Amino acid sequence: MISRRGALGGLAAGGVMLLSPGGALAQARSYSRIVSVGGAVTETLFALGLGDKLRAVDTTSTYPAQALQLPKVGYLRQLSAEGVLSMEPDLVLLSSEAGPAAAVDQLKSSGVPVAQVPVGRSVDGLGAMINAVGNATGFSEDARLLAGSVETHFSTLAGALPSTAKKSVLLILSAGNGPLLGAGANTAASAIIDFAGGALAFPEMEGYKAISMEPVLAADPDWIVLPSHVCEALGGPEGVAKLDIVARTTAGAEGRVAIIDSHYLLGFGPRAPKAAADLATLLYPDAGIPALGREASPSANVTILGPR
C-alpha cells in the first residue's frame, strides 16, 4: 500500500490527487479496470506497461494498435458519464481537455476514483503529464524514468539542430466542409514545429485560422504538413495533391509535402521527441538528426508526396 506521506509526495511531483470512494488515499497498484480518456494518457499507460489494465478508452486513443481494439467511451470533449461508468472502472484517468464539465463533475461524484491529467506541450509539461499518470496508478518511479528519457531525447534533438535560418512550415487542418485552416502560434502544431527547429509560415497568426491562396503564395513555406486525418478527409494523397494551396506552391511542386500520423504529430505523448525528430529530418536532411529510436528517418509515420 502507498503510505499517506508517499502519496502526498507524489501529488507534489505530478499534480494529481486521487481519492478512493471513502475519501482515503487509494491503493494504486490494485487497479485492473482503468478507463483512459485522452490519447496521450493512453499512450503513456501502454508505455508504462499498463495496457493490460485498460478496460476502455476514448476515440482519440489511437496508439498503440491494441488501444484500437478496446471498447470506446466516446470523444474526449463530448463524454457521457453514464457511458464511462457503464464500463465499471476502478479508476478513470481524464485528460485535462476532457469534457463537458458536467460529465466530468458527474464522474468525480460517482464514487469511482478519478484523476485529471494535465496536457503538456513543453518538455516540462510533457514530463508532468507522464508523472501524473504514474502517480495516479502507483507507478511513479517507472513514470519518472520515462519522463527522464523523453527529456533526454528532446535535449539530444535540440543539440543536433542546425544554427542556420529556420525552415518554415505550413501545417494545414480541415474544418469539415469549411475553409482550410493554417496553424498559428500557441497550438500543438506550433509546439512540435518549434521542437523540430522550424518556424511557422504565419508567425503572427494565433491559433488555427482560415487561410487563402495569396497569403500562402506570399509566405512560400518550405514544407507543407498535413495530419493524417486531414489527408483522409480531403480524399487521401490524391485529393491533397489537387488542392490549389498544394499544387500552386513551390513546396508542392518540389515534393515538400508530408502527411504525418495525427496523434503521433500532435498528440504529445511519450513519442513526441520522435515526431519532432521526423519533422526535423524533413526540414534539415543533411543535419544528421538523431534516430531517437526511430526505425527509419523519417519513420513509417511519415508519407511524403512526390513532386508533380
Query: Can you list the domains of the chain with their CATH numbers?
Result: 4-157 (3.40.50.1980), 162-305 (3.40.50.1980)
- What was the pLDDT predicted at 175? 66
Q: Sorting pLDDT into bands at 50, 70 and 90, what band is 8?
A: very low
**pTM to 2 decimals?**
0.89
> Which one, of 15, 16, 49, lies nearest residue 34 by Cα?
49
Instruction: Give the pLDDT confidence of 129-153 residue by residue, as tens digits.
Output: 999 999 999 999 999 999 999 999 9
> Which one, of 256, 172, 153, 272, lies nearest residue 215 by Cα?
172
Residue 293, H or E segment: none
When the pLDDT of each residue in the chain is averaged and rounded to a whole number, the result is 90
Unique residue bearing C-alpha cell 533526454: 152
Q: What phi-psi label fits residue 293: left (phi over 0), alpha (psi between -120 and 50 degrees) or beta?
A: left
Q: Sorting pLDDT into bands at 50, 70 and 90, what band is 306?
A: confident
The span from the CA of 220 to the CA of 183, in Å, is 15
The span from the CA of 234 to the CA of 132, in Å, is 37
Instruction: Give the pLDDT confidence of 229-259 residue by residue, as tens digits.
Output: 999 999 999 999 999 999 999 999 999 999 9
Instruction: Give the pLDDT confidence of 80-96 residue by residue, as tens digits.
Output: 999 999 999 999 999 99
- Average pLDDT, integer, range 276-303: 97
